[in-house]
């Protein structure tokens, strides 16, 4: 971001803008930050704030690079240690290249109790890491007293415990306390009473809290409410009171309300005051006492450092006794402070010999001090498969490198895969990538960058998507060589598939995801926890077809309509056109077959496209003008023809009432920039698919005006077509709609004319479909979607969205910031250590956090359920029974084998969606004599199938009892898939 002009580089910051908003982005671009301490914690903070786009950062540190740093600082390399570089000098250029908009400088001056702190006056935020408590207090007091106050953050990380302290002054205003986008909620009714009660339409939950305020719009009848903000009292999840409405006009119909965002002022206290009376966040409610205990222990550690000018030595019992005594003294004397621990990582290691934790002079000494040498070796031997190399993937690879996961010398390996290429918008969060990497594969580039952090890793980078189509690559043999799987994905469907493969192959899965300031991690361990597929979020509500086509009520509807138009006009129809002519390369043969009465799928639509295909730029402009007339004038006229404004339903209520909005036809006006944008963007896209050249002059207002003066607009005549009003109706498939005889004759005539006028050449039977690309502002895609959506919104009197919001919704962009991404990756790394150590169920933690509030919640994962079949026969989702057959093995043999091996006889056998054996089905009893190979054809690359079996209930009339999948091997040699 250019701080001087305050222009936000959307191609870089778009995902972050959706999280923080432009006001916060501009404030950051004016802010200078002082960051002290270039250890593991300091470099992590430096990375995140530079990626975020502050104006300037001063990196401060006085230490030299040591071997220890290689295990926690990803920007210090081995050559920096050998050349005895200062840490700050080693990391500065590497931090600076993360973001060209941020000025990064360095300081290696002493910062201690004698330093004149007045230089802090030029900074808006001061962050101290690796600083003694006395210095933190002194700097915090200076920042708190300064006018205006300088934001102060003090933080420390000691192995498995971390603390963060914030002081943003005595009057710190937060303009948006939650960060949630307010929704428009439609109104069912408002009572004329004291208090008046508002009820939401269709029992939609309002999500409000007593004391908040809402503003009303488009209310009919009780019009005095429109534009006013009213404080509310919640009555139920679907209703609330708004004060006295008894003197207002009676409510008639319609209207909606929106939450009013109210700024909130927070008062922060100094570190000195907070140490005595701390306000602590509790992230793990299974151990509510932990934050206060860690608070006491860390204060004792601070005292130890003040007294001895060093930290306690690893494995030194004398230092441990001193620290314990200091902790007891601090505890006897006992807000804005956050402590997080991972005690579960070390609790099982208490019986391990002290020598395990002793330093050995390598990059893993810091890690070894936490988990011991044996666990370090297990990490080195690990074989991990990570799916996805985006934001979370980059952070995970950094953690793998620092932890020494998958070292070549220990026969370990990290497999990664991602089919995507690097885009500029990735650089804001995916810190392993730089501008010169744009359009290179994510996986191979990330692998190279990871080896720069730790050259000893063995990384196998692939470009394949993980899905059913690639099971020949990521097959059972591949999974059998793995210790665990990590997902770094951005969609539920892919997670579900990877989870099913881990379940089938009995492999642990570590999943995580972010949405803006929110993040979650989920740990899935064979035979201990439920799987990802064990819980299902409610499916995302689809917008009804009739709402999109004719009755939009909110801006999301018009944006989706515009996005669908793009897909239909510039992707789907051109692809269908190419596919048809590839299948039927001769237009003459197509004509003959149609003349003989043969129905060819898609022929009507394809011939229509062929006959109307433009040859030159002015024809593309004409198409744009005709599309405008069709979408924004004739559509409205047709709707009002079918449903005049006074139309009433059978119950006497008005047809056009909330949420239905009556459209208003739009007359074309070239002086309206939105009209001009729609015409030009539409013409450009049609020129693109039909490979028609145009110049910069062709898109000027003067030239477009000249071309439009020749366009003849046919007179509007109402159609008698039926308009769909049923919300449950699905969109019809135009390819499969039966053609009328008139349409068939029209298509034949059009094709005859095309052939007769030599318009059927190889070039004209080929077009170039477009693939929607939201991040390229030069391609015109977002120009079309924004103009089309805004015009439709205007037609229906819906408040339009700006280009940024339109891009987020149309492109299904997930808002994201680097901080949340780094947090989930760190939490996943903790769980990885526990998996490698074979820890018990109680040690594992799932996490949900929202950094905006802030909330951090650690919980135990869902424990695996044991389901009773009957007679003390249980199974869980992780169980898979196995039966080995041979070439002559029959279905009857299979059923008998299950009964003999597992003590219960199947009554139904299903393979996928095919029912192999259901006794009540006609002819199924004859199948018992058929061989399994005849009933199920084995695939070439897999010598087994997973069958679903059911068992007879204990009582007649009950449903059949489910059981675990039964894996049937066609031969003994398939035992090891």
Q: Which structure tokens are listed for 377? A: 């070796």
Tell me the sheet residues that pair with 419.
Answer: none
Task: Identify the burial level of 180 via C-beta atoms within 10 angstroms of its C-beta, where 0-12 means exposed, 13-18 middle and 19 or more buried.
Answer: middle
Cα–Cα distance, 9 to 438 (Å, whole number): 16
Helix (H, G, I), strand (E, B) or coil at 373: helix
Q: Say how far apart CA 507 and CA 32 lie, in whole Å.
A: 47
Q: Look up 546 and say whether it is catalytic.
A: yes
Report the distance separating Cα 855 and Cα 281, nearest Å. 8
How far is 544 from 546, CA to CA, in rounded Å?
6
Question: 72, 92, 200, 546: which one is catalytic?
Answer: 546
Q: CA 431: distance to chain centroid?
A: 17
Total count of residues recorded for the chain? 977
CA distance 694 to 688: 10
- For 430, 445, 471, 730, 952, the CA distances from 441, given in Å and listed in that order, are 13, 6, 21, 39, 53
Which residue reads 């994905």 in tokens?
489
Q: Which of 170, 153, 115 is nearest to 34 (CA)?
A: 153
β-pair partners for 373: none
Can you list the positions of beta strands (E) in 747-896? 846-850, 855-859, 867-870, 873-875, 881-884
- Tokens representing 429 are 């969060």
Q: d(Cα 506, Cα 880) in Å, to the nearest integer?
A: 10
Helix, strand, coil percent content, the chain, rounded in steps of 5:
40, 20, 40
Question: Using CA atoms in the order 418, 421, 426, 429, what is the torsion angle rounded to 10 degrees?
Answer: 30
Q: What is the dihedral of CA 819, 822, 828, 833, to 10 degrees?
A: -130
CA angle in degrees (0–180, nearest 5) for 372-378-380: 105
Residue 394: closest CA among 338, 342, 461: 461
Burial of residue 907 (number of CB atoms within 10 Å: 0-12, 13-18, 19+)? middle
Q: Write out the two tokens for 170.
A: 């005595």
Burial letters for 233-271: b for 16+ Cβ neighbours within 10 Å, e otherwise?
Answer: ebeeebbbbbeebeebeebeebbbbebebeeeeeebbbb
The Cα 467–Cα 496 span in angstroms is: 10
> Which residues are annotated as catalytic?
546
């Amino acid at each position: 971001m250019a701080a001087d002009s305050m222009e936000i580089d959307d191609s870089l910051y778009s995902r972050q803008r959706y999280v923080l908003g432009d006001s916060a982005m501009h404030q950051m671009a004016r802010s200078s930050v002082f960051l002290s301490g270039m250890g593991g914690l300091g470099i992590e903070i430096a990375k995140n704030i530079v990626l975020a786009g502050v104006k300037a950062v001063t990196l401060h540190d006085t230490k030299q690079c040591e071997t220890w740093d290689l295990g926690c600082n990803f920007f210090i390399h081995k050559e920096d240690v050998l050349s005895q570089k200062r840490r700050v000098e080693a990391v500065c250029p590497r931090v600076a290249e993360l973001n060209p908009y941020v000025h990064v400088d360095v300081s290696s001056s002493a910062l201690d109790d004698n330093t004149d702190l007045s230089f802090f006056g030029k900074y808006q935020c001061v962050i101290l890491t690796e600083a003694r408590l006395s210095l933190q207090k002194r700097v915090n007091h200076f920042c708190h007293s300064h006018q205006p106050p300088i934001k102060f953050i003090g933080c420390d990380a000691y192995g498995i415990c971390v603390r963060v302290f914030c002081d943003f002054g005595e009057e710190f205003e937060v303009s948006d306390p939650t960060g949630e986008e307010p929704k428009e909620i439609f109104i069912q009714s408002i009572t004329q009473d004291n208090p008046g009660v508002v009820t939401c339409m269709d029992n939609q939950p309002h999500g409000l809290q007593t004391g908040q305020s809402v503003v009303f719009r488009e209310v009919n009848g009780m019009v005095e409410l429109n534009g006013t903000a009213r404080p509310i009292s919640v009555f139920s999840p679907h209703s609330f009171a708004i004060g006295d409405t008894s003197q207002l006009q009676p409510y008639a119909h319609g209207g909606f309300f929106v939450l009013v965002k109210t700024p909130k002022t927070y008062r922060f206290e100094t570190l000195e005051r907070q140490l005595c009376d701390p306000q602590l966040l509790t992230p793990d409610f299974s151990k509510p006492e932990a934050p206060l205990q860690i608070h006491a222990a860390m204060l004792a550690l601070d005292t130890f450092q003040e007294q001895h000018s060093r930290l306690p030595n690893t494995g030194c019992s004398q230092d441990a006794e001193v620290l314990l005594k200091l902790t007891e003294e601090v505890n006897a004397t006992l807000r804005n402070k956050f402590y997080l621990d991972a005690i579960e990582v070390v609790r099982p290691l208490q019986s391990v010999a002290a020598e395990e934790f002793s330093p050995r002079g390598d990059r893993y000494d810091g890690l070894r001090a936490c988990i011991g040498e044996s666990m370090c070796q297990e990490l080195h031997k690990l074989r991990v498969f990570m799916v996805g190399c985006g934001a979370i993937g980059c952070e995970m690879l950094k953690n793998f490198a620092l932890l020494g996961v998958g070292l070549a010398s220990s026969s370990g390996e990290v497999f990664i895969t991602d089919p995507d290429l690097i885009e500029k918008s990735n650089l804001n969060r995916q810190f392993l990538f730089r501008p010169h990497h744009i359009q290179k594969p994510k996986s191979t580039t990330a692998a190279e960058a990871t080896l720069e952090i730790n050259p000893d890793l063995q990384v196998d980078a692939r470009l394949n998507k993980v899905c059913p189509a690639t099971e020949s690559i990521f097959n059972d043999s591949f999974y059998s060589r793995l210790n665990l799987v990590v997902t770094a994905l951005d969609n539920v469907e892919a997670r579900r598939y990877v989870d099913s493969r881990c379940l089938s192959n009995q492999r642990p899965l570590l999943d995580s995801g972010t949405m803006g300031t929110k993040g979650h991690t989920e740990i899935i361990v064979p035979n201990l926890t439920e799987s990802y597929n064990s819980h299902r979020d409610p499916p995302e509500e689809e917008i009804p077809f009739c709402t999109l086509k004719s009755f939009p009520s909110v801006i999301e509807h018009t944006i989706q309509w515009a996005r669908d138009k793009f897909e239909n006009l510039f992707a789907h129809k051109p692809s269908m056109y190419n596919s048809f002519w590839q299948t039927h390369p001769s237009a003459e043969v197509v004509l003959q077959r149609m003349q003989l009465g043969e129905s060819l799928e898609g022929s009507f639509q394809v011939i229509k496209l062929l006959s109307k295909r433009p040859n030159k730029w002015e024809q593309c402009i004409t198409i744009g003008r005709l599309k405008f007339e069709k979408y924004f004038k004739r559509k409205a006229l047709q709707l009002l023809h079918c449903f005049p404004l006074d139309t009433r339903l059978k119950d006497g209520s008005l047809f056009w009432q909330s949420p239905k909005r009556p459209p208003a036809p739009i007359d074309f006006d070239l002086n309206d920039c939105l009209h001009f944008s729609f015409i030009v963007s539409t013409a450009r896209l049609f020129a693109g698919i039909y490979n028609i050249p145009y110049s910069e002059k062709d898109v000027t207002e003067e030239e477009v005006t000249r071309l439009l003066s020749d366009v003849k607009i046919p007179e509007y005549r109402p159609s008698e077509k039926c308009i769909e009003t049923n919300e449950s109706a699905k969109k019809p498939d135009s390819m499969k709609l039966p053609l009328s005889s008139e349409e068939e004759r029209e298509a034949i005539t059009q094709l005859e004319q095309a052939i007769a006028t030599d318009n059927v050449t190889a070039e004209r039977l080929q077009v170039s479909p477009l693939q929607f690309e939201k991040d390229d502002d030069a391609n015109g895609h977002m120009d079309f979607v924004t103009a089309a959506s805004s015009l439709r919104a205007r037609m229906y009197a819906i408040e339009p969205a700006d280009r940024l919001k339109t891009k987020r919704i149309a492109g299904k962009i997930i808002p994201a910031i680097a901080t949340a991404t780094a947090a989930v990756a760190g939490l996943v790394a903790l769980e990885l250590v526990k998996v490698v150590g074979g820890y018990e169920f109680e040690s594992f933690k799932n996490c949900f956090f929202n950094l905006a509030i802030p909330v951090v919640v650690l919980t135990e994962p869902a424990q695996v359920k044991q389901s009773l079949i009957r007679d003390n026969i249980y199974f869980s989702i992780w169980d898979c029974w196995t039966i080995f057959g041979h070439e002559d093995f029959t279905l009857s043999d299979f059923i008998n084998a299950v009964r003999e091996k597992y003590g219960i006889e199947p009554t139904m056998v299903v393979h996928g969606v095919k029912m192999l054996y259901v006794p009540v089905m006609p002819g199924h009893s004859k199948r018992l004599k058929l061989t399994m190979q005849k009933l199920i054809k084995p695939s070439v690359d897999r010598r087994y199938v997973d069958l679903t079996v059911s068992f007879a209930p204990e009582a007649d009339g009950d449903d059949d009892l489910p059981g675990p999948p039964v894996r049937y091997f066609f031969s003994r040699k398939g035992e090891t898939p």
